[in-house]
Chains A and B, each alone.
Chain A
Amino acid sequence: GAVVSQHPSWVICKSGTSVKIECRSLDFQATTMFWYRQFPKQSLMLMATSNEGSKATYEQGVEKDKFLINHASLTLSTLTVTSAHPEDSSFYICSARELTEQFFGPGTRLTVL
């Protein structure tokens, strides 16, 4: 299947700083990528849909000014957590759609101190 990478795999930051997470489709072009968040022992929650060349679509309850998404090319989407706080600590996973199937990245574990 298609390969999706994420960088970094883990990050620890101080409260109030911003963190950028990259999601790349390595062997296919993805016009649509998705960002999910997963808290410990919970399910994946869709945060936003990232469309190449246009604004992201955010799910209800997700602050678009806090979670900035940029999908500047067909192989790269970035999620920036601005002014991170401890409650933002979570496992962030992206996925990229090829045809009708979604392929997940390995995830980024964010810890905000």
Chain B
Amino acid sequence: GENVEQHPSTLSVQEGDSAVIKCTYSDSASNYFPWYKQELGKRPQLIIDIRSNVGEKKDQRIAVTLNKTAKHFSLHITETQPEDSAVYFCAAKDGADGLTFGKGTHLIIQP
């Protein structure tokens, strides 16, 4: 089955700086790569996703890049703000399968 590795596990950045979280996946058949933000005790919220026919996608301060050859994808957050502090999960899926999640990155925005 699919295996998703996520790094780093904790990331602390100064407010206003950029944050980058990286994930790799093992199943070349995976074709959908969402990123979720989860606040303590709450459900994961989809913040951005990318499909295998696209190399990059941007939504305001958030962008995701995908390298199918290397089987890795990254989340980029620019101009970070205190409300960006949360745990971020990457995931991968193939067709009708459920999502396989990375272990998560605790993003801390320092004021």
Contact = CB atoms under 8 A, between A and B. Distances in A.
B42 A44 contact: no
B44 A44 contact: yes
Given A46-B101, A95-B99, A101-B46, 6 more contacts: A36-B98, A43-B89, A43-B103, A93-B43, A104-B45, A107-B43
Given A43-B103, A100-B32, A49 B43 contact: no
Chain A, interface SS category: strand
A103 B46 CA distance: 8
Given A42-B103, A43-B103, A104 B96 contact: no
Interface in A60-113: 60, 91, 93, 95, 97, 100-107, 109
A32 B96 contact: yes
A45 to B, nearest CB: 8
Nearest to A10: B41
Given A42-B103, A43-B89, A43-B103, A49 B42 contact: no
B100 interface: yes
Interface centre among A34, A36, A60, A104 (most CB of B within 10 A): A104
A43 B43 contact: no
A44 to B, nearest CB: 5
Interface residues of B, number: 20
A46 B32 contact: no
Contacts of B100: 46
A46 B99 contact: yes
A32 B34 CA distance: 18
B83 interface: no
B76 to A, nearest CB: 21
A104 B46 CA distance: 9
Contact of A49 (B34, B41, B98): B98
Contacts of A46: 98-101
B102 A105 contact: no
B43 A104 contact: yes
Given A34-B98, A49-B97, A102-B99, A43 B104 contact: yes
